[in-house]
Amino acid sequence: MLKKTFRSLLWIVAGLFALSIFFVILYRFVPVPVTPLMIIRYAEQRKEDKNATIYHRWVPLEKISDHLKRAVVASEDQRFFEHRGFDLEQIKRARKENMTRRRPRGASTISQQTAKNLFLWPRSSWFRKGLEVYFTFLIEVLWSKERILEVYLNSIEMGKGIYGAEAVARVHFNTTPLRLTREQAALVAATLPNPRRFSSRNPSAYVLRRKQEILRQMDFIDLPPPE
């Protein structure tokens, strides 16, 4: 009986491992239609508003403004094109600062955020963190940096019910993601720590201050040439 149970568990683990590899390879080439985060947020919003909806439409990376690419890298992960999924320097710095900070500072890279948004759930735990490390490793090995950034910019939460560059460009600025200006891109990036609390359409004083800092940092971000 124990042998059968152990064998069944091995098959389950092997099946989940194969499934994870399959979806990582699939999403290397196929646009991501929906993420667990979108489904969870939609269910939460439906409890408060029966007319809640999701704004999301996939666009290729070349149809997204370079300003937005620079802004999110400047804001979220300045060493994105240098590290292999984990920024050890930022992790060490965050640990040191969190010893005295009231609110802990995170050190998640764009790769980690992409892995979490695409395959996992928002509530943090050690188990989820372990899976996040696993999926981050997979996408860093199997995808290019450009693909990671493309998926990130198409799936990241950018407002209540708003996901991705196309949605935030249309809903907040009445434009296309390719025509987002430098100022608009910096505003969007300034809200990313908490896009349900902060708005790029109606920015608070905090968002406006953060926007100015991101604008300065954008000057130091070099994007790689198109593949």
Q: What is the pLDDT of residue 26?
A: 96
Q: Is the distance from CB of 157 to CB of 163 less than 8 angstroms?
A: yes
Q: What is the pLDDT of residue 106?
A: 59
Q: What is the pLDDT of residue 100?
A: 61
d(CA 24, CA 60) in angstroms, rounded, equals 18
User: Which structural domains are found in the chain, ordered by start?
Assistant: 31-218 (1.10.3810.10)
DSSP-assigned states of every residue in the chain: -HHHHHHHHHHHHHHHHHHHHHHHHHHHHS-----HHHHHHHHHHHHH-TT---EE----GGGS-HHHHHHHHHHH-TTTTTSSS--HHHHHHHHHHTTT-SSPPP---HHHHHHHHHHS-SS--HHHHHHHHHHHHHHHHHS-HHHHHHHHHHHSEEETTEESHHHHHHHHHSS-GGG--HHHHHHHHHHTTSTTTS-SSS--HHHHHHHHHHHHHHTTPPPPPP-
List the chain pLDDT tens, one digit each, 227 residues: 667 777 778 888 888 889 999 999 999 999 999 999 999 999 988 888 878 889 999 999 999 999 999 999 999 999 999 999 888 787 777 666 555 656 555 568 999 999 999 999 888 888 899 999 999 999 999 999 999 999 999 999 999 999 999 999 999 999 999 999 999 999 999 999 899 999 999 999 999 999 999 999 999 999 987 76
pTM, two decimals, is 0.90
d(CA 162, CA 153) in angstroms, rounded, equals 12
